[in-house]
A and B are shown apart, each in its own frame.
Chain A
């Protein structure tokens, strides 16, 4: 069971309506290394992973939904007052035709989210290494978005999210060591 809490994990502020930035940010909403992919990847892998790391996958997977809500808030605030003309100028003309100013799980170039972005191999080491890679890719993506952004208030939230990827990667690296130790302990007949 999950509980929703009516607050953001970290404050999200944006300076002004800026659909061009929203177009880049969508990458972290419905892209391959985005927050939706992260949440669904970890929460799905946890059923078949050894007990010692189920807690970590559950907790990081849950935090990813909080990040998804932060990204959604950023995109919403950057586009809610945008006119169709502004959406078009920002490269979101096709998005507008399909969704008006609603959010959609797609990447920066408009490709819809797909489960083929994520994997569950059932092999604990394979799964946890995928998770480390996912965090590093998400960290890099946040950096590329920050490099493209001219909104210092938005960047504050993006830098927070970038740092969370660093922490998640660190915790997954520790989990990899725990898994290796566990594997060493197993008695084979």
Chain B
């Protein structure tokens, strides 16, 4: 990516990290509490929210995933967003 990263980039990234943290916690919790219906509902709610946020991120900064989990622009734009250790 050629443009310098803005505050908006970091804010959106942190929003994704926050939602994905909820999903991570719920994943491990549900692995040992599979019958907690409320937790399953929370999981599905946040999974939806995470997808919406990532759609927005990818539109602005490029793909988060490879192997077909994200769409590509032209030319191939895997390198568009900075690598995680570079921000």
A interface, CB within 8 angstroms of B: 1, 3-12, 53, 55-56, 59-60, 63, 69, 72-73, 76-77, 167-168, 171, 174-175, 178
Contacts and interface: CB of A to CB of B under 8 A. Distances in A.
Interface of B: 10, 13-14, 16-17, 20-21, 24-25, 27-29, 31-33, 63-67, 69, 81, 83-85
B32 A6 contact: no
Given A7-B17, A12-B85, 14 more contacts: A1-B67, A4-B65, A4-B66, A6-B81, A6-B83, A7-B64, A8-B17, A11-B17, A56-B28, A59-B28, A63-B28, A69-B84, A73-B84, A174-B32
Contacts of A175: 31-32
A73 B85 CA distance: 5
A9 B31 contact: no
Contacts, number: 64
B31 A167 contact: no
A8 B27 CA distance: 18
Mostly, the A contact residues are: helix
A171 B32 contact: yes
Mostly, the B contact residues are: helix
Contact of A9 (B24, B28, B65, B67): B24
B56 to A, nearest CB: 14
Given A3-B66, A4-B65, A5-B64, A60 B21 contact: no
A6 B31 contact: no
A8 B29 contact: no
Contact of A8 (B24, B63, B84): B84
Contacts of B17: 7-11
Contacts of B65: 3-6
B84 A171 contact: no
Contact of A171 (B21, B28, B81): B28
B69 A59 contact: no
A123 B67 CA distance: 36
B9 to A, nearest CB: 11
Contacts of B16: 7
26 contacts: A3-B67, A3-B69, A5-B65, A6-B63, A6-B64, A6-B65, A7-B17, A7-B64, A8-B84, A8-B85, A9-B17, A10-B21, A11-B14, A12-B85, A53-B31, A56-B32, A59-B28, A60-B28, A69-B85, A167-B28, A171-B28, A171-B29, A171-B32, A174-B32, A175-B32, A178-B32
